[in-house]
Structure 1
Amino acid sequence: MSEGEKIIKINIEEQMKSAYIDYSMSVIVSRALPDVRDGFKPVHRRVLYGMNELGVFSNRPYKKSARIVGEVLGKYHPHGDSSVYFTMVRMAQEWSLRYPLVDGQGNYGSIDGDSPAAMRYTEARLAKIAEVTLTDLDKNTVDFQPNFDESLNEPTVLPTRIPNLLVNGASGIAVGMATNMPPHNLSDTIDAIVAYIDNREIEITELIPIIKAPDFPTGGIIYGYKGVEEAFETGRGRIVIRGKAHIETTSTGREKIIITEIPYLVNKAELIMKTAELVNEKKIEGISNVNDESDRDGMRIVIDIKKDEISNVVLNKLYKYTQLQTSFSVNNIALVKGRPRMLNLKDLIHYFVDHRHEVVVRRTQYELDQAEKRAHILQGLIIASDNIDEVIAIIRGSMNPDEAREKLIQRFELSEIQARAIVEMRLRQLTGLEQDKLRAEYEEIMNFIEECKAILASEELRMNIIKDELLEVKEKFGDERKTEIVPNAEEFNPEDFYADEEMVITISHLGYIKRTPLTEFKTQGRGGVGSKGSTTRDEDFLEHMFIATMHNTLLLFTEKGRCFWLKVYQIPEGSKTSKGRAIQNLLNIEQDDKVLAYNKVKKLDDEEYINNNFIILCTKKGIIKKTSLEAYSRPRQNGVNAITIREGDQLLEARLTDGTEDIMIAVKSGKAIRFNESIVRAIGRTASGVRGITLGNENDEVVGMICVKEESEDVLVVSENGYGKRSSIEDYRITNRGGKGVKTINITEKTGRLIAIKSVSDDNDLMIITHNGLTIRQPISGLRVMGRAAQGVRLINLKTDDKIASVARVQIENEDTVEETGTPEETGNE
């Protein structure tokens, strides 16, 4: 042992414990976990700050990655160069970050797991969105700390306007804990933050419908919602992600599975390799070939299916055995005031808003201080300009600048700073124009100072500033969701519990609705008296009757022009004679509104279907309106405005069309007009529409509208006293919209006014409902085609106090027998 040295005995267990705790804390705080405020780990923050200091902004030329890495290594992050370079590379990969923060040029790797080129080959600069994370950094908005050698300062957090932790997520393994946070859509996230700012007491269950679910850069499908809700509510949850695949059929009849999106963090090349291995091992049968046809336009993995194999079965096996379906385990751990904490959705939003609030306060205080300093100097300059001759005399009479400053301070009671500014003033500032500029600047700065003081005095103003800045970010960088959300098969999906059977939906005048199996209705001969169809109140009667299957969605339109959505299986089932249930109990309809028109649609999630189909609306005053079905594809619990109804008018009909159909509108006075819908331009959901037909007189009104695609269908018109007539659509020439139309039925006192118009064929039955609640069903084939101006034939024998309320056409399905009318007792007609 050397002289002067000595050995100190220590407990190795205590030493290891102490050293390991120090190491653990270093890893947790300074390496692996992100800060809840800006969502960055130290290395990400240093890369962005280093690029900012180097001046590689989005509007400047790219710089070599090696130059950027050197800047960060040498000044802020004394670790391996690969740690800095790969951090920067990941921030540039569009399949790794939902909103990339670095704009890279060169080979930055691929989704197949290829490595990026060496840093000497690639170039980079800040992405536009990254600059928003650095805005106001020079306005004392955040604290700075010395770098590793204390020669420079670096920020402890960035004053980001982007909720980076939510929109880009984070992952990291610390000691004894890990974080795994999914990315979200920027627009949805900002909407959720704004909702929180507006209502600090908002519940997580109210935030979930706004932010919806994670939104991954590689798209895909979130399969099941339970894990999403758990993650939002507790900070932990398991989210199942599926790749997006569809089935194509070749010209030879063979089927292919086409995969266009894969789950987040899945290596495409490994997915294809694993699929090939499973085929070779015969774990997945039915695949003849797997080929990667991806290019710069997007991903496309083609899986050829063997002849006579079922594609859906093969696809389900791929989901089960490969990474075409994976799970993302959410574990929201981030640093809050230097300590790791598990955070739910509301916590993450709360801490971000707190951070933005502190940034706004510090920025405003900084701007106020700078403005007050400038105002102080301007006051001195204005005093000098008001006494310019005396000031010049004092300066000329002084031996040196210090003496001039002293004399000015004594004469005009100025501060040292003001006197120095006057002495250093240029001669050009003596001109009249420059003096006016001084006063204008002083007035502007005083107004700005008042604004700053108002902001610092009012939390409401500060919160409005935060909201405005967030909405500005949303407008600039917001985009559509990439990841779809579908209910899980294991979850409760109501449609699975109902066979897709045909139902007769009836809605009464007072708003009672029910569904009844179509098989309950008998077929009767023409001229029968009908069977008792429904029990209603004395003042009520059946107004609408139509056929829909259990899985259809009903679009219900009210006389005030509102549209509501209702699945058929959500309608209570009732017998023919039951009253049904008040529609107000199923939908949020206003008390003084009622359903007057309806439509059924098959799918609201098929883009091609909703973009190529239209809703045609018609009002009693003859106004029509055409709107794309896409405008009605997002159901809302409280409904939406479908048309702006003018005073004295109300909605009457709604029809689903494909854009090429002929429209026929009939009025009470017995006239009808026919024109092609192509001459009606599609307009927005809330517009009021254009004229479809000109009414005959003040008492006239539209009774119905039909949309006809094939001329094989005939036109059936029914009058209120039970007369009807079937005529060929060719009898009605195609005209322009807005005319008075031509005669469609000869209206007499015996027939009564026109009450309905329907498009029919021999494959239909006719269902007639009277005001007294009687129904009769008869085949259309029993009605011969007549001329346009004929009076028609009697369809139903009505009592003297009864009139027809509504008619509906019914599709015949395997019904070969036609029953004659029974006795009054059998039919319920007493």
Structure 2
Amino acid sequence: MGGHMSSDMPDSPDVDAARIEHVRIEDEMEQSYIDYAMSVIAGRALPDVRDGLKPVHRRILYAMHEMGVSSGSSHRKSSSIVGETMGDYHPHGDSAIYDTLVRMAQDFSMRYPLVDGQGNFGSMDGDPPAAMRYTEARMAPMAEELLADLERDTVDFTSNYDDRLEEPEVLPAAFPNLLVNGSSGIAVGMSTNIPPHNLGEIIDATVHLIDNPDADIADLMEYVKGPDFPTGANIVGKDAIYSAYATGRGRLTVRAEFEVEETESGRDRIVVTELPYQANKARIVERIADDVNEGKIEGVADLRDESDRDGVRVVVECKRGANVEVVKNQLLEHHLESTFGVINLALVDGQPEVLTLKESLQQYIQHRRDVVRRRSEFDLQEAEDRAHILEGRLTAVQNAEDIVELVQEAEDRDAAKAALGERYDFSEAQAEHVVRMQIGSLTSAEVGEIESEYEEVQAEIERLTAILESDEKLDEVIKDELRAIEDEYDDERRTSIVEDTGTVTREDLVPEEDVLVVMTADDYIKRMPADTFDPQRRGGKGIIGGDPKEGDRVTTIFRAHSHDYLLCFTNHGQVYRLKAYEIPEMSRTARGKSAVNLLDLDDDEQITAVVPTDDLDPEESITMATRQGYVKRTPCSAFENILSTGIRAAKLEDGDELVDVEVTDGSTDLVIATEGGMTIRFDESEVREMGRSARGVRGIDLQDDDAVAGLVATEEGDDRALLTVTENGYGKRTSLAEYRCQSRYGKGLIDIKTGDRNGSVVDVKAVVEGDDVVVASETGQIMRCPVGDISKVGRNTMGVVIMDVEDDDSVACLDVLPAETPTDQE
């Protein structure tokens, strides 16, 4: 067959060539990649700022909503929920959907879980959940708050992936879920990592911002203290939190919660009870064990994970004699701290934006305004429609006979409706409703019911109209609904905010607080928070504050601040320098630890006086009194360099002991009290300053078998009182003004009557109203009593019972908790 093929035939190469577009491959790759990136960003990885959900979360919850799997229904197989979600709304793999469902049910992943799971949904150890065919789920009550009012035209709907169904573009979200539950995701070229927060704090901040649109980040942080992780733990430092809230980015240091306990064998153990958010507990335990085996962490004897369903409990047993503070430091440095990088990135009008705390709340508030406005418009239309029907119904009941006759005469239903509309000016809807009314609804009683309902509907119309006409009233509705959710679901904050200490040192780990230090004759020592002991009325027995072993006894109790450097003076005339936190902290029922590693004490050497060094002035003096009545003053500058083995503070005669110490400035009077109940007051200037190796001068002329019990420094006009306590638990309070000044080395005046009832004087202290006295007995009973409970009396009296001491026990020592202490102020 001859001839040429026509060029306009369908299969002509020229026709195909005409449809080809020539593009640069780099341009095509760039555009395709951008399209892909935006699809991932908007369709998978980033949450919407309005409801805080990614599409997969939203679709799972909507599918459960459509299935009727609410918090009040029975649990449904997870595979069923995943199947419905995948088939109708989310055309991706079932494993991705199930992983999302699982996370929404994990109380260690979600601050407020949105799914109520039944079965194995994984653990903090990284254990995987059971297969979806084995687990069941339903919506948690909090999820229903996100979906509330969905059917009332509150949000826009869009077609699902195959145009069969519709799904919501965003949920109404009755609470700020983006901040409350947080979110994390990796998109293309960007990622989001929003920490969870406490519901009550976020709602309080939202309400505050509605009322105060000009509020800044600092104002909002009065309500939002910081992230609140479901696993608790501690956030270190407020600066990083402020940075994250002010810029949308920040790096938070999250530290585990732990405490030190003492075992029955006397060893220390560190018990971890809360871990940083998203930490894998099993992996942490494994890595600690590896570091212990490799020698990177020293002083660990055993490591156990005793966690159960009630919470985390990882126990690190320390070796005998190991420094628990050092072990804690090593664990913190390598295992018990992590960094949470905040990136507050969310979709705003479909575009990714890094948001500040204020911007996040503003976007949510605007969303709720839209939701409440649309809901009010929907409800108003419903109410107006109902009012319209009720008006027609009321007219029909009021004209029942005529209506019945009119309908009877009509040829058919349409004719009846036409007739009703013509005679009574009924609308189509009203006429349709009247025609369908039952004869029983035409009773006179029906009139009252219709009128009552009509009044209620009119009131609802007025309310909704007022909301739509007033921004203030609309905001009031939003605030009321937020408060209702707060009342229903708010709980205590789990994550604490601790001060940023920079490099974690041993001192950083010790809280700043007033402590009581107890020491025994056999040199067992411990410290306890002063508020371990609540004040009691005088005359009580106190509570256990120590447990001396058989043959041992309590000899010393003194108050200190946990971060103070202390000058510890002993009965042998030595002085040691000690940091208060170096004394092991133990429970009140514990025996204490041997002081051999803290103080190089000789046999029978005991601490008799303690002076904090922080407030010492080199121009001041350390004034000392000995049991045999000697007094000496030494400049504070002589105690600046103290060896670990201690230095001499005073030279003592054979059989003499250092009893008490005061810091003086050269202008005070000294009051010396004796065991026999005598006191002498003389001017400090009668005792010249002398070196550390000097013995001192005689301060009081002691009677036979008497000895000095204590020393107090006072001055003219001092309104304090002298508190005297005896070994049988008696004591009294006498104004210092009643002790007249004498010359040094006199016999003094009678202060308190001693004898069989009172026993000897144990110690004296200067006190004011508001102070508490802490009295310790030799067997370890400790009593804290308000000074105000001890009546003021004159000299030469018997005193009253301060502490009820057992027959085989006696008061060993005492100290005073001043009125102006952090403990008391708190």
Partner in structure 2 of residue 715 of structure 1: 732
CA shift digits 1:779-817 (9 cap, x unpaired): xxx99752479xxxxxxxxxxxxxxxxxxx9869xxxxx
Picking from 338, 348, 354, the partner of 1:342 is 354
Q: Cα distance 1:194–1:66, how it changes in 2: closer, same or farther (>3 A)?
A: same
CA distance in 1, matches of 2:683, 2:205: 57
**What SS class does the counterpart of residue 22 from structure 1 fall into?**
helix
Q: What is the 5 A alignment of 1:665-684?
A: none
Q: What is the 5 A alignment of 1:317-328?
A: 317-322=330-335, 324-328=336-340
CA distance in 1, matches of 2:271, 2:47: 38
Q: What is the 5 A alignment of 1:46-65?
A: 46-65=59-78
Contact 1:766 1:810 in 2 (8 A): no
| Paired letter, 1:355 | H
Q: What is the 5 A alignment of 1:47-446?
A: 47-322=60-335, 324-446=336-458
Instruction: Check if 1:786 corresponds to 2:797.
Output: yes
CA distance in 2, matches of 1:233, 1:354: 20
Contact 1:718 1:725 in 2 (8 A): no
Contact 1:237 1:330 in 2 (8 A): yes
Q: Cα distance 1:395–1:714, how it changes in 2: closer, same or farther (>3 A)?
A: same
CA distance in 2, matches of 1:345, 1:713: 61
> 1:717 Cα deviation (Å)?
4.3
| Paired letter, 1:219 | G
> 1:313 Cα deviation (Å)?
0.9
| Paired letter, 1:347 | E
> 1:280 Cα deviation (Å)?
2.3
Contact 1:144 1:153 in 2 (8 A): yes
> 1:426 Cα deviation (Å)?
1.0
CA distance in 2, matches of 1:387, 1:142: 43
> 1:387 Cα deviation (Å)?
1.2
CA distance in 2, matches of 1:276, 1:59: 45
Partner in structure 1 of residue 670 of structure 2: 523
Instruction: Check if 1:29 corresponds to 2:42.
Output: yes
Contact 1:713 1:729 in 2 (8 A): no
Higher mean Cα deviation, 712-721 or 256-265? Answer: 712-721
Picking from 447, 450, 473, the partner of 1:461 is 473
| Paired letter, 1:460 | E
Instruction: Check if 1:763 corresponds to 2:763.
Output: yes
**What SS class does the counterpart of residue 210 from structure 1 fall into?**
coil
Contact 1:242 1:326 in 2 (8 A): yes
TM-score, length of structure 2 as denominator length: 0.65
Q: What is the 5 A alignment of 1:645-660?
A: none
| Greater radius of gyration (CA) | 2
CA distance in 2, matches of 1:471, 1:404: 52
Q: Cα distance 1:339–1:714, how it changes in 2: closer, same or farther (>3 A)?
A: same
Q: What is the 5 A alignment of 1:682-693?
A: none
> 1:722 Cα deviation (Å)?
7.5
Q: List alignment gaps of at least 5 residues for structure 1.
A: 506-516, 533-574, 580-595, 597-702, 733-759, 770-781, 790-808, 813-830
CA distance in 1, matches of 2:385, 2:418: 20
Q: Cα distance 1:707–1:210, how it changes in 2: closer, same or farther (>3 A)?
A: farther
CA distance in 1, matches of 2:44, 2:738: 85
CA distance in 1, matches of 2:395, 2:155: 37
CA shift digits 1:731-750 (9 cap, x unpaired): 99xxxxxxxxxxxxxxxxxx
**Matched pairs, number:** 578
Q: Cα distance 1:767–1:421, how it changes in 2: closer, same or farther (>3 A)?
A: closer
**What SS class does the counterpart of residue 71 from structure 2 fall into?**
coil
Partner in structure 1 of residue 483 of structure 2: 471
Q: Cα distance 1:708–1:103, how it changes in 2: closer, same or farther (>3 A)?
A: farther
| Paired letter, 2:97 | V
CA distance in 2, matches of 1:444, 1:765: 76
Contact 1:713 1:761 in 2 (8 A): no
TM-score, length of structure 1 as denominator length: 0.65
Contact 1:763 1:811 in 2 (8 A): no
CA distance in 2, matches of 1:90, 1:160: 19
Contact 1:185 1:481 in 2 (8 A): yes
CA distance in 1, matches of 2:407, 2:286: 86
**What SS class does the counterpart of residue 154 from structure 1 fall into?**
strand
CA shift digits 1:585-625 (9 cap, x unpaired): xxxxxxxxxxx9xxxxxxxxxxxxxxxxxxxxxxxxxxxxx
> 1:719 Cα deviation (Å)?
10
Partner in structure 1 of residue 593 of structure 2: none
Partner in structure 2 of residue 688 of structure 1: none
Q: List alignment gaps of at least 5 residues for structure 2.
A: 1-9, 513-561, 567-610, 616-661, 673-678, 686-712, 741-749, 770-792, 801-813, 818-826
**What SS class does the counterpart of residue 490 from structure 1 fall into?**
coil
> 1:762 Cα deviation (Å)?
4.0
**What SS class does the counterpart of residue 523 from structure 1 fall into?**
strand
> 1:527 Cα deviation (Å)?
7.0
CA distance in 1, matches of 2:299, 2:254: 24
Q: Cα distance 1:18–1:115, how it changes in 2: closer, same or farther (>3 A)?
A: same
CA shift digits 1:408-460 (9 cap, x unpaired): 11111111111111111111111122221111111110111011111111111
Contact 2:197 2:228 in 1 (8 A): yes
Q: Tell me how large the CA RMSD over aligned residues is.
A: 3.6
CA distance in 2, matches of 1:578, 1:388: 104
> 1:205 Cα deviation (Å)?
0.8
> 1:730 Cα deviation (Å)?
12
Q: Cα distance 1:267–1:709, how it changes in 2: closer, same or farther (>3 A)?
A: farther
CA distance in 1, matches of 2:493, 2:341: 20
> 1:9 Cα deviation (Å)?
3.0
